[in-house]
Structure 1
Amino acid sequence: MGGVTTSAWDEVATAVAAAPYPVTVLAPDSDRAAHCLRELGITTGSWLGAVIGHTGGLLVDHGWLRVLGCGTETMPAASLTVAYDVLGGVYDWTVNPAGRPTIHYFGPDALAWEDLELGYAEWLHAVLAGSLDRFYETLRWPGWQAEVGAVAADRGIHTFPPPWSKEGKDLSTVSRAVVSLAELVSVHQETARQLDGQDS
């Protein structure tokens, strides 16, 4: 079955160029990219492999969504984190009960994992085709573009009251502060665990 694998990067790059909002392609670290691809056992022939092999990540829609490239830091067998959003939401590529790997989203407003029922390429294609406008419609506020655009890729926006609370639903009325993205993700996931514990 040998032969040269055709990279899917041209397809990804075409979708990036056609996106209805700004997309920044971060420069890859070639050694790290090769290591990531080896660890995952994939090639640049897939969209996931192309993003890992050819980028340090993608900052989509003024940096609202941060799609991970060769900077992917964890390689668990069961799932792989492929993106974060500026509010601390997480996207994992993980096997669903039907045995198919799909993108699952953990949102700061719902504090629960939701299977988006899309493979990685389908999901990223939808994202680059403009799906974020609709997906995040209830989590945006007037002037968010300039505010989010000024936030570094490893930082996020903490809102208080939080988006999962009744008082925090309207993000134009809450207080917003720039914090470590890793910390923000951790706070949301810990809150979900605590609330889940209260329910049972």
Structure 2
Amino acid sequence: MRGAVLPAGWRADRSSRGLPAAVPAADVRWLRVFGGGSGSVADGRLPSLAQVNRFPTDFDPGWQPATGLVVGHDIVGGVFGLNGGDPAAAGRPGDPGRMTYFAPDTLEWEAMEMGHSGWVSWLLSGRMETFYDGMRWPGRREEAAALHFEHGVSVYPFLWSEEAHADLAATSRRPVPMREVLGVAADFGRQTGSSDPGFLGDVRLAPLSALVCQAPAAEAGQGRSARGRPG
């Protein structure tokens, strides 16, 4: 971003590790983007791309991720993935080497029609409000800012329920381990979606029993067909 003029509201620092150098301030805590390094939530950093994707400890030239790479999470359980060589076999839409998104309000993978570098540029574009239409509530910036890296937000009724689609602001929300946010979405995806969502990333967190979500199952709602697509 050297020499570029940043739009108002953007941050040009790395105080939120794991995000690109210039991100709209409203999204600094909403997104977790995984990269190199050997960070851990224990010391206030995000896990690395290798840790999240369970890379072998010892170099193995024949190893490759079965379904592609998980490259980012958002705090409500959305997963950004980079397709591997055979997306159809992995139950993912789109072409090899293209980005996909597991949407926690539909429990489906959605093609994003861009590669990884295009996705990073999109993160810096300030156009995520349209993409997240229907998944952001009044006060979500303050709630996101208060989260530790090991936590996400549990929303009840669940984001995929008819109740949440009708009135997201009326839902109850609380911080829970991110591993649980992903696990609940995966479990319901297997139960109500068209297919098993598969691997959503390993954040390798110690369970926090006091924060375990104990909400009863909600009836799955209809998926939205008008998600704003990155251009």
Scaled by the length of structure 2, what TM-score is found? 0.61
Question: How far, CA to CA, are the matches of 1:15 and 1:84 in structure 2?
Answer: 27
Q: Which 5+ residue runs of structure 1 have no aligned equivalent?
A: 1-10, 28-55
The 5 A counterparts of 1:81-96 are 81-95=70-84, 96=87
User: 1:22 deviation in Å?
Assistant: 4.0
Q: Residue 179 of structure 1: SS of its match in structure 2?
A: strand
Q: Name 2:179's counterpart in structure 1.
A: 182
Equivalent residue of 1:167, what SS?
helix
C-alpha spacing 1:77/1:195, structure 2 compared with 1 (3 Å):
closer
Identity among equivalent pairs (%): 34
Corresponding position of 1:158: 154
Q: What is the CA distance between 1:122 and its match in structure 2?
A: 0.6
Q: Which has the higher contact order (CA 8 A, sep 6+)?
A: 2
The 1:84–1:16 alpha-carbon spacing in structure 2 relative to 1, beyond 3 Å, is: farther
Contact 2:156 2:172 in 1 (8 A): yes
Match of 2:68 in 1: 79
Distance in 2 (CA, whole Å) between partners of 1:19 and 1:132 is 15
| Correspondence for 1:58 | 19
Question: Is the contact between residue 15 and residue 125 of structure 1 (CA under 8 Å) also seen in structure 2?
Answer: no
The DSSP-based 3-state class of the residue aligned with 1:139 is coil
CA deviation after TM superposition for structure 1 residue 147, in Å: 1.2
Q: Distance in 1 between matches of 2:8 and 2:118?
A: 15
One-letter code aligned to 2:149 = A
**Do residues 133 (structure 1) and 122 (structure 2) align?**
no
Question: Relative to structure 1, is the Cα distance of residues 14 and 132 closer, same or farther in structure 2, using a 3 angstrom cutoff?
Answer: farther
Q: How many residues align?
A: 159
Q: Distance in 2 between matches of 1:15 and 1:181?
A: 34
* Contact 2:108/2:193 (<8 A) preserved: no
CA RMSD of aligned residues (A): 2.8
- Residues 197 and 178 of structure 1: CA distance in aligned 2, closer, same or farther (over 3 Å): same
Q: How does 1:114-133 map to 2 (within 5 A)?
A: 114-133=110-129
Per-residue displacement from partner, 1:72-111 (whole Å, max 9, x unpaired)?
Answer: 1214254000000010110110134575311110011010
Q: 1:111 aligns with which of 107, 122, 127?
A: 107
Amino acid at match of 1:108: P
Gaps of at least 5 residues in structure 2 are 37-47, 56-64, 89-93, 196-231
Q: So what's the TM-score if we normalise by structure 1?
A: 0.69
CA deviation vs aligned residue, 1:159-178 (integer Å, no higher than 9, x gap) = 00001010112321100010
Query: Structure 1 residues 14 and 58 mapped into 2: Cα distance closer, same or farther (>3 Å)?
Result: farther
State the secondary structure of the residue aligned to 1:66.
strand
Looking at structure 1, the residues matched to 5 and 178 of structure 2 have their Cα atoms a distance apart, in angstroms, of 24
Instruction: After TM superposition, list the pairs within 5 Å mapping 1:25-44 onto structure 2.
Output: 25=14
Q: Distance in 2 between matches of 1:154 and 1:24?
A: 21
C-alpha separation between the residues in 1 aligned to 2:189 and 2:96? 25
Distance 1:179 1:16 in 2: 37
Moved over 2 A (4+): 13-27, 95-100
Residue 15 (structure 1) shift: 7.7
1:143 matched residue in structure 2: 139
Name the SS for the 1:163 alignment partner.
Answer: coil
Match of 1:183, SS? helix
